[in-house]
Amino acid sequence: MKKLLSVLSFVLSLAAVLPLVAHAADPMKIRVGVEGAYPPFSSVGADGKIVGFDIDIANALCAQMKAQCTLVQQDFDAMIPALQAKKIDAVVASMSATPERLKVVDFSDKYYNTPNRLIAKAGVTIDGTPASFKGKKIGVQRGTINDRFATAKFAGAAIQRYTKQDEVFLDLASGRIDATLVDAVAGDVGFLKLPAGKGFAFTGPVYDDPAYFGTGVGVALRKGDTALREQLNAAIKAIRANGVYKTLQAKYFDFDVYGK
């Protein structure tokens, strides 16, 4: 009887442990918000698949963390509300860690940092002074750092807001707006180097005031999600050290996009 009870006790204890072992082996599941309308960082290819530097970084971080990630495509200005509503768990969509955003979400360490510039017709000079903005229509993507900066600083200009940056470029090319304030890399690759960008150029100064533009682009997370933030920071550090970041960067850029 004692032997039978001992065996039964072992079986019961094993049954209790097995679900815990199985659970521990399950990969972490993360829903990642991505955009798909901001080349070369994200865009939708001819086959309907979303591609770009943001997408490759998201996949590399998930692989490094051995996490099971689902990419959730949506408009940029809906990212933070979706994060707060727990529809997604992280945002990898060229979102800069600004003081304003840090009031409502947390960020991982940066994974790139690039400046912002104005683009206008070649020969049109907008030097950043109020006089140069007078009567000008400046297009920006809604909810971005460029939207906030242009609204606060471009006195005399009429600010026109769009859901996607490619919509801004369309209106710029057609002459419905005079200029756009945009990430310099996105503006160069996503417009100036395309047929639609012929006859356009950067104008005015480089815009990188940390009070508006932050300290670089990171992964946005819900406030207090410390465990995920620490894992992402470790993953960013790891892919920077093991060569994965350098390989991904070389697919899109001929310079160090990680920045200062």
Which domains does the chain possess?
Answer: 26-113+216-252 (3.40.190.10), 116-213 (3.40.190.10)
Helix extents (H) in 125-225: 130-133, 145-153, 165-174, 184-187, 210-213
Question: Cα separation of 135 and 116, whole Å?
Answer: 22
Instruction: Please give the pLDDT value at position 260.
Output: 80
Tell me the average pLDDT across 217-230: 98
| Start-to-end C-alpha separation, the chain | 73
CA distances from 120 to 80, 94, 127, 168, 177 (A): 30, 23, 11, 12, 9
pLDDT in tens, 78-133: 999 999 999 999 999 999 999 999 999 999 999 999 999 999 999 999 998 999 99
Return the structure tokens found at 103: 């009031």
Q: Which of 35, 43, 67, 69 is nearest to 217 (CA)?
A: 35
CA distances from 240 to 112, 217, 244, 249 (A): 11, 15, 7, 10
Determine the Cα angle at 260 with ends 124 and 91, to 5°: 85
Instruction: Please give the pLDDT value at position 18.
Output: 46
Question: Cα separation of 154 and 136, whole Å?
Answer: 10
Return the structure tokens found at 187: 């503006």
Helix extents (H) in 66-187: 79-84, 130-133, 145-153, 165-174, 184-187
CA distances from 196 to 20, 83, 159, 201 (A): 57, 34, 22, 12
Q: Environment class of residue 215 by beta-carbon count within 10 Å: exposed (0-12), middle (13-18) or buried (19+)?
A: middle
Instruction: Please give the pLDDT value at position 5.
Output: 44
Which of the four pLDDT bands, split at 50, 70 and 90, describes residue 26? confident
Listing from the earlier edge strand, what are the strands of the sheet with 116-121?
158-162, 137-141, 179-183, 116-121, 200-207
Question: Is 23 a residue whose pLDDT tops 60?
Answer: no
Question: Cα separation of 205 and 118, whole Å?
Answer: 8
Instruction: Please give the pLDDT value at position 176.
Output: 98
Of residues 188 and 19, more confidently modeled: 188
Which of the four pLDDT bands, split at 50, 70 and 90, describes residue 185? very high
Strands 137-141 and 179-183: parallel
